[in-house]
Amino acid sequence: MNLQTTYLGLPLRNPLVASAGPLSQTVDGVRGLADGGVGAVVLFSLFEEQVRAQLEQAERDALLEEEHAEAFAEATSYFPSVDAEPAEQVALSYLGLVERAAAAIDVPLIASLNGSSVGSWVRFARQLEEAGAAALELNIYFVPGDIGLTGAAVEQRHVDIVSEVKQNVSIPVAVKLSPHFSSVGNLATRLVEAGADGLVLFNRFLQPDVDVERVEVVPGVELSSRSEARLPRTWIAALRNQLPVSLAATSGVEDADDVVGYLLAGADVVMTTSALVRHGRDYSRVLLDGLDSWLERKGFRSVGQARGLLAVPAAADADGYQRAGYVTALERAKARYGSLA
């Protein structure tokens, strides 16, 4: 069976991609994911705050050394050694990991930048490209705390980040979005116009819980559940025939049926971390075997023949199409559970 596909212009041996997460934090981890069979690996994210902290420390060290420039040489030797261009030295560990991991695997390595503002962190996009990243994934994680900030301003920040990064690199750039916008389709279109080569749908916001005994907010991270696939699958189906870019699905993958569902909706690739954390890196083979079996059972000879079969047709009245699906769902629910009125 031909499982080959293309994502961000990159040829992949199959549409299963290991998304950014705990399994891709070391060279051995990345190698294990590739050996497990995935078509590409997204490295764990480099955070804007990490870069900014290192930059601020480097600037403080530089200022400290400058203030004591006329002191005795013996005295200045006690101060931190500062390179002439401290910004070029930050995030060296991440850059080194990109370089070593890219050389260690035979599938594309995608670097991930996690941030929420147009700042100095985008300068590292070029360095990631030079280190060997085949593409960049911009994980724009922004939860506005200012209630006066308009939705238009939030969206414009996303567009500005993409535009800035695209000016710094020549490799493809994908944007990982949250679903919490008044018009996901409009923002997606603007991001593509700003230069995005692909969209990853969707990011998961970390939602804290409350410990009622200790009377405190408890942060936490949970693995995704398959029910979470419904929202990204809906938007992938809506955007598939409207935008000329790659679409990646993420969240809610547990078995091969979830992979197939995303592909039928129109995803170019299906990303997962939760399933691989739950079942191990080699679980990718189970997912791919299930996909292969389904394609053969349905009479398809390739992934491409099945992709997008359930996407919203390009010529359809998009609003009417979605509305019809909504009404049909309610009618089916009524038949099963009785009147919902």
> Backbone dihedral region of 121: left (phi > 0), alpha (psi from -120 to 50 degrees) or beta?
alpha
Mean pLDDT of 66-95: 49
Tell me how far apart the alpha carbons of residues 181 and 183 are, in angstroms, rounded to a whole number. Answer: 5
pLDDT in tens, 179-212: 989 999 999 999 999 999 999 999 877 677 888 9
Out of 16-25, 223-232, 277-286, pick the least confident. 223-232
The DSSP element (H or E) to which 43 belongs, if any, is strand 40-47
Residue bearing the bigger pLDDT, 219 or 12? 12
Tell me how far apart the alpha carbons of residues 65 and 68 are, in angstroms, rounded to a whole number. Answer: 5
For the residues of 285-314, what is the DSSP string, one character each?
A: HHHHHHHHHHHHHHT-SBHHHHTTTTSPPT
Q: What is the pLDDT of residue 151?
A: 87
Tell me how far apart the alpha carbons of residues 247 and 197 are, in angstroms, rounded to a whole number. Answer: 9
Mean pLDDT of 244-250: 97
171: Cβ contacts below 8 Å, ≥ 6 apart? 129, 133, 134, 135, 136
